[in-house]
Amino acid sequence: MSEFFEAFWHGEGIGDGGDLEEALQAYVSVKPDDNDWIAACAVKEAAPRIERFSSFEAYLDNKDPLEVIEVSPQMIVVAIEQLPV
């Protein structure tokens, strides 16, 4: 069984992945027009986070996440830079 990660922005799930980097890359869908992730993440309601589950099945079964990872602007920038152009 492999882990499952879900990304959140403004309290809404915006994407997921089989590893942390893949889940972080989901933030490309909410990329600010000015590309200023520091300002975007500073908005209290943004509250970027990743929830880590033991498996996709645990996620589907509404199990509690094993961990909640607070996401920094730098984490998002580094992950998005890894995406193919």
Residue among 20, 29, 31 at smallest CA distance from 71: 20
- In a 13 Å sphere around the CA of 55, the CA atoms on its Cβ side amount to 5
Residue-wise pLDDT tens digits, 37-67: 999 999 999 999 999 999 999 999 999 999 9
Residue 73's domain comprises 4-81
Looking at residue 30, what is its pLDDT? Answer: 97
Answer yes or no: are the C-beta atoms of 49 and 69 closer than 8 Å.
Answer: yes
Whole-angstrom Cα distance, residue 8 to residue 48? 6
How many domains are contained in the chain? Answer: 1
Output the CA torsion sign for 77, 81, 84, 85: positive
pLDDT at residue 20 tops 90: yes
Beta strand spans in the chain (E): 4-9, 12-17, 49-53, 67-70
pLDDT value for 1: 63
- Global pTM reads 0.93
Compute the average pLDDT of residues 62-84.
96
